[in-house]
Amino acid sequence: MTTLTRRTFLKGALAATASPLLLNATTNKNETLKFIHVTDSHMDLSDGDSVEAMELMVSFINTNYKDLDFVLFGGDNFNNNAKGSSDALKFQSIIEKLHCKTLLVRGNKESSPKYDNEIDRDTFEKMFIQNRGVTISGNDWLYEIKGYNILGLDSTIEKQNNGIFKPETISFATKVLKSKKPTIILNHHPYTNYWKGTEEKDIHKYVLNNTKEVQKKLFSFDNLILTLSGHKHIDSVTQIQGTTAIVTRGFVRPLDLDMYPMRYVEIENSKITEKLIYTA
């Protein structure tokens, strides 16, 4: 008979979409956590279709997923290329129509504005992070709900497309993980070259630059159950040291007419299921 280690038991492999994953027993068994991950929407005021797509997303979620706990937005939410904050304000006005809480992290578009007077990190925090029931630490935040920790970690580098977890981000995440609560990390840059790229410039741009350090320091925790990233726009569900690492297909890449992709995640009775969904 095969003997399962405690780590293997707690963090069993997720072999395919919508398959179960055993979680830490400290979760509240009778509560269900439901949320949607939207990443790389690249809303652009010069592209009316991208604005309409966001409005379609809100209508779709409000109609079909009425009992969500929150929606997570994974960066490159808007292109930050309109002078002033007009695109950020438009994005804000759209997502505020969602029936549930919204939680956001930055992507390289938000951290690398086209002009000098576009929204910066402090403005992003004021608009999209403050007053949302989260604990803020530098560029990062923590949201606690139903026995789970949701960590929003900023992997951006100002004025750059590539990403990294700064020492203070790793320190904050480590402190949270030591609480032993099952934890989900939301950030923009993925942790592996899951698309099997061969060009070093491409890998440097898309893979978290200090991923080996991050995997050693954070993925070693049994209670890190899930990471959610974007940036490459290509969908992936893999395992890193027993942690499910998801990269959701970019919202900006519809499957067909008005079929914009998102990921639905549900945790129920210590099991997690996930599936890619489309707005039409």
Which whole number is the average pLDDT over 256-260? Answer: 96
Per the domain annotation, does 267 fall within a domain?
yes
Nearest CA to 121 among 133, 134, 108, 135? 108
Provide the number of structural domains found in the chain. 1
Helix boundaries (H) for the chain: 6-10, 48-64, 86-95, 108-111, 121-128, 167-177, 200-206, 211-217
Q: Is residue 1 in some structural domain? A: no
Sign of CA dihedral 170, 12, 20, 270: negative
Please give the pLDDT value at position 270: 58
Q: Is the pLDDT of residue 114 over 60?
A: yes
Q: 203 Cβ partners below 8 Å, 6+ apart? A: 193, 197
- Residue 95 domain-assigned? yes
Residue 210 in this model has a pLDDT that exceeds 70: yes
Q: Output 238 or 24, whichever has higher pLDDT.
A: 238
Asked if 276 and 38 count as a contact pair (C-beta separation under 8 A), the reply is: no
Euclidean distance between CA atoms 36 and 41, whole angstroms: 14
In a domain, residue 37? The reply is: yes
User: Is residue 1 over pLDDT 90?
Assistant: no
- Give the pLDDT of residue 168: 98
d(CA 82, CA 181): 41
Indicate the average pLDDT of the chain.
90
Task: Assess if residue 194 is contained within a domain.
Answer: yes
Domain extent, residue 256, equals 6-278
Q: What is the CATH number of the domain that holds 238?
A: 3.60.21.10
* Angle of CA points 33, 63, 21, to nearest 5°: 25
Nearest to 145 by CA among 78, 68, 79: 68
Q: What is the mean pLDDT of residues 123-135?
A: 96
> 62-89: per-residue pLDDT in tens?
999 999 999 999 999 999 998 889 999 9
Residues 237-244, mean pLDDT to the nearest whole number: 95
Q: Please check whether residue 88 lies inside any domain of the structure.
A: yes
Q: Which two tokens stand for residue 180?
A: 């032993």
Return the pLDDT at 131: 94
